[in-house]
Amino acid sequence: MQTFDQFETLVAGEREGRDNFKILVSSVLPRPVAFVSTISAAGVPNLAPFSFFNAVGSNPPAVIFSPCTMRDGTDKDTLNNIREVGEFVVHVVPHNMKEGMNETAAAVGPEVSEFDLAGFTPIKSQFVKPPRAAESPVQMECKLVQIVPVGEGPLSANICIGEVLCFHIAEGYLLENGVVDSAKLDLVGRLDGSGYSTIRDRFEMPAPKR
Ligand SMILES: Cc1cc2nc3c(=O)[nH]c(=O)nc-3n(C[C@H](O)[C@H](O)[C@H](O)COP(=O)(O)O)c2cc1C
């Protein structure tokens, strides 16, 4: 394997948040995309994508994602709704949902439902108040465990930790061995800038035997 002996060292604390953001999103990739539905206390549903996202445990199943504070110091509707209601639904994003998902990332006010804006179909959830989007083949109803802020002000993280209360998996997507058919899911990943990737070049590498 190649080794490197020359590095450019960028001290995060001496740089603007947006410059650190550029390094992060062009190095930590591809990032899975959580398409998150929430609902405000006033009852307005919301949908938005988040690629600072991952699964972090299985007993109980747990996910995290981070709606970051905006450049003007205000918080995103998703975060405000989760603070108010304490529940959310994480959906996966197949390739054929990408344009609709992207439309929901528009900066619109809390009075606007991105379900209507981008043409997603709301269906009732079983355990939580936010509706689900029927277009996504895997949906996870989550209750908030904790919001962990990292820093404060513009571009700071607000890590939402969720416990998954139930998985909804579309008919035909769950294989007999208990895994979801990832080839059929055909999810997209987020890269830097306006870049995305697919998961169509999968390779296999069994874990070491001991
Ligand atoms: C693919 C994709 C991934 C995104 N990931 C994040 C993210 O991880 N954190 C974040 O704060 N914003 C992220 N955004 C931007 C939010 O989706 C956007 O600010 C959205 O308007 C927030 O909606 P809300 O105000 O209704 O919550 C992402 C946008 C796209 C298109």
Q: How many CA atoms lie within 13 A of 175 on its CB side?
A: 8
Query: Could you tell me the residue ranges of all domains in the chain?
Result: 15-171+178-195
Q: Is the pLDDT of residue 149 over 90?
A: yes
The three-class DSSP label of residue 184 is: helix
Residue 51 per-residue DSSP state: S
Average pLDDT, the chain: 97
Two tokens, residue 43: 């009852």
* Banded pLDDT at 207 (limits 50, 70, 90): very high
- pLDDT tens sequence across 154-189: 999 999 999 999 999 999 999 999 999 999 999 999
How many other CB atoms are found less than 10 A from the CB of residue 50? 22
* Banded pLDDT at 199 (limits 50, 70, 90): very high
Two tokens, residue 4: 């490197």
Two tokens, residue 113: 């439902």
The pLDDT of residue 61 is 98
Instruction: Answer whether 110's CB lies under 8 Å from 40's CB.
Output: yes
- pLDDT tens sequence across 102-136: 999 999 999 999 999 999 999 999 999 999 999 99
The three-class DSSP label of residue 26 is: helix
* Banded pLDDT at 210 (limits 50, 70, 90): confident
DSSP string, 60-112: TEEEEE--PPPTTSPPPHHHHHHHHH-EEEEE--BGGGHHHHHHTTS---TTS
Radius of gyration of the chain (CA): 18
Query: Ligand 1: distance of its center to the CA of 94 in Å?
Result: 17
Atom 20 of ligand 1: nearest residue by CA position = 105
Out of 50, 113, 114, 115, mutate this one to test ligand 1's pocket (max ligand atoms within 8 Å of CB): namely: 50
Out of 76, 81, 89, 117, mutate this one to test ligand 1's pocket (max ligand atoms within 8 Å of CB): namely: 76
- pLDDT tens sequence across 33-69: 999 999 999 999 999 999 999 999 999 999 999 999 9
CATH of domain 15-171+178-195: 2.30.110.10
The pLDDT of residue 56 is 98
- pLDDT tens sequence across 13-26: 999 999 999 999 99
The pLDDT of residue 117 is 93
Q: Give the closest residue to 184 by CA, choosing from 47, 92, 52.
A: 92
The pLDDT of residue 13 is 96
